[in-house]
Homo-oligomer: A and B are copies of this chain.
Amino acid sequence: MADPGDNATPLLDELEKGPWPSFVTEIKSMASENKMCKDLLGQLEKSYREKRGYWKHGGIVGVMGYGGGVIGRYSFLAEEYPNVAHFHTLRINQPSGWFYTSDAIRGLCDVWEKHGSGLTNMHGSTGDIVFLGTVTDELEPTFAELTEHGFDLGGSGSDMRTPSCCVGPARCEWACYDTLHLTNDLTQTFQDELHRPAFPYKFKFKMAGCPNDCVASIARSDMSIIGTWRDDIRIDQAEVKKYVDGGINIHKDIYANCPTRCISWDGETLTIDNANCVKCMHCINAMPKALRPGTDRGATILLGAKAPIVEGALLGSVLVPFIKIEPPYTELKDLVERIWDFWGEHGKNRERVGELIQRVGLGNFLEAIEVEPLPEMVAHPRENPYVFYEEYFEEGDEDEEEEEDE
């Protein structure tokens, strides 16, 4: 293969073809005005040629007084591509629900045009606005201008990470609590925990308004708050009939997919045995005009989800089966503080809270954070007989007398 000229990116050019919007086109659109983008293209083309990345481990860079929010990044090819020798990203806390006005967007663009690559991720996987690539000297000025525009940094390192949430009550009929308000409130309440890493490892919150979990909280957040309800699903029988007329087969499409088979249909009336409904959302999802969650709403709190490194991936597990979620969220925040206290004291370095629970045992963990054990917290009770009974009778105990008295 011929060595490509200075500006030639024959491999990347292939990625401008095809119907899906192209990230290469995005980078190229900046390359004429921004040298970082030009060198990014160059280094990336080389990655494509050599089938490997050329970024080094990040060093510790950041803005004054903050321990997180910036990911340091340096190139192995600093000589070849000096403009990406530093290429740090800033993580910027998104507004809850990722709503923007065009002015807010333009404000962000202006800051980033002046101080960085002009490339962003809308958004990062945790939920932040990601400003992709700048040099160390620009970090502090970027930050100053961002705060002028009302934005602040998100998390990185061993801190509380940027909480995020589904669109919730802003545009969804199924939201069982105000995901946006809670997300904003927690973010504001825990500013210190967000900006000054003092935990054993990262801690993520994600708020989903209902069990559909449109923010993947149960897979990706140390604390997952999933909206649900306690009372009966509201049914509009007339609308049910319309769905049936429209082709929905209640037996096949609804009943057979209901995890507890607690829904039935006699051709006239849809009946739900609400005591056995596990709030999976399926029937509601399938017939949104006919069915709605109940009105006694709140959330299930699950703890401990994380990616696999290094003990294996975890989904969140039930900590509180049902809790009312209402400002000022005192009960929830107290719970969070108790969890952080215990984790802070007993968590090992780089041990997520889910791993800690597995290590000390859920039972002990509950005791430490003062939460009663409930059968809702387990898929099933233990199968092995290795119980750590904590007490035993000693000779001479009252109990002995009582037991022998017979």
Interface residues of A (CB under 8 A from B): 256, 261, 308, 312-313, 383-386
A313's contact among B308, B312, B313, B383, by CB below 8 Å, is which? Answer: B383
A385's contact among B261, B308, B385, by CB below 8 Å, is which? Answer: B308
Query: Which of chain B's residues have a CB closer than 8 A to the CB of A383?
Result: 312-313
Known interface pairs A308-B384, A312-B384, A313-B383; 5 further A-B residue pairs with C-beta atoms within 8 A, sorted by A's residue number = A256-B261, A308-B385, A308-B386, A312-B383, A313-B384
A384 to B261, CA, bound (A): 32
Q: Smallest CB–CB gap between A323 and chain B, Å?
A: 30
Copies of this chain, whole number: 2
Q: Smallest CB–CB gap between A179 and chain B, Å?
A: 29
A383 to B312, CA, bound (A): 9
A384 to B309, CA, bound (A): 9
Q: Smallest CB–CB gap between A358 and chain B, Å?
A: 14
**What are 8 residue pairs bridging A and B, where the CB atoms are less than 8 Å apart in the complex?**
A256-B261, A308-B384, A308-B385, A308-B386, A312-B383, A312-B384, A313-B383, A313-B384
Closest 8 A-B residue pairs measured CB to CB?
A312-B384, A308-B384, A308-B385, A313-B384, A313-B383, A256-B261, A308-B386, A312-B383
A346 to B128, CA, bound (A): 52
Query: Which of chain B's residues have a CB closer than 8 A to the CB of A386?
Result: 308
Query: Which of chain B's residues have a CB closer than 8 A to the CB of A256?
Result: 261
Query: Which of chain B's residues have a CB closer than 8 A to the CB of A312?
Result: 383-384
A312 to B313, CA, bound (A): 22
Closest B residue to A385 by beta carbon equals: B308
Query: Which of chain B's residues have a CB closer than 8 A to the CB of A384?
Result: 308, 312-313
Q: Smallest CB–CB gap between A115 and chain B, Å?
A: 37
A40 to B275, CA, bound (A): 55
Q: Smallest CB–CB gap between A334 and chain B, Å?
A: 35
Q: Smallest CB–CB gap between A332 and chain B, Å?
A: 31
A385 to B308, CA, bound (A): 8
A94 to B383, CA, bound (A): 32
A155 to B386, CA, bound (A): 28
Q: Smallest CB–CB gap between A385 and chain B, Å?
A: 6
Q: Smallest CB–CB gap between A12 and chain B, Å?
A: 16
Q: Smallest CB–CB gap between A378 and chain B, Å?
A: 17
